[in-house]
Amino acid sequence: MNNDFSRPVTGHVPVLRLGDVLLVTVQGDLYDSTAQQLQEDIGETIVSTGVTGVVIDISGVEIVDSFLGRVLAEIAATARLLAARTVVAGMRPAVAITLVELGLTLPGLRTALTTEAAMDLLAGLDPNTRSGGLRQENR
């Protein structure tokens, strides 16, 4: 099945294709074998479908460690090498603080407050024009 709603098999991590974007929803802990399978599935799906973006929704993640940070960075690096951009959506403040404290910069990743704003970023729309988008700096 190769329609816009096909789902590659990824163990416990749902992956949904929405047009030219893969939506990956991480809930809770991500273990070594699941993370490796997820990375492989995302890479294979990018190549086989030609998607140009990956949104990783981590709104269900309450605690982050260096392993999850590394997995996110590796997914973004793989996607970038395969001509797709990656946006992480739904990061909780505690997760952001932990990533900073761990010194993880997550190169190649853009962030958005919501999945909708992440989809707008990948579509080239200004997510600031919708509620729930990116935060604007005070000028």
pLDDT tens profile 88-104? 999 999 999 998 998 98
pLDDT-based confidence at residue 62 (cuts at 50, 70, 90): confident
What is the structure's pLDDT at 126?
66
Mean pLDDT of the chain: 83
Question: Structure tokens of 122?
Answer: 């990948």
Average pLDDT, stretch 75-92?
A: 95
Residue 7 CA to residue 62 CA, distance in Å, equals 25
Nearest to 69 by CA among 118, 43, 107, 40: 107
pTM for the whole thing?
Answer: 0.81
Q: How many CB atoms lie within 10 A of CB 133?
A: 19
pLDDT tens digits, one per residue of 1-38: 444 444 444 456 888 999 999 999 998 778 888 888 89
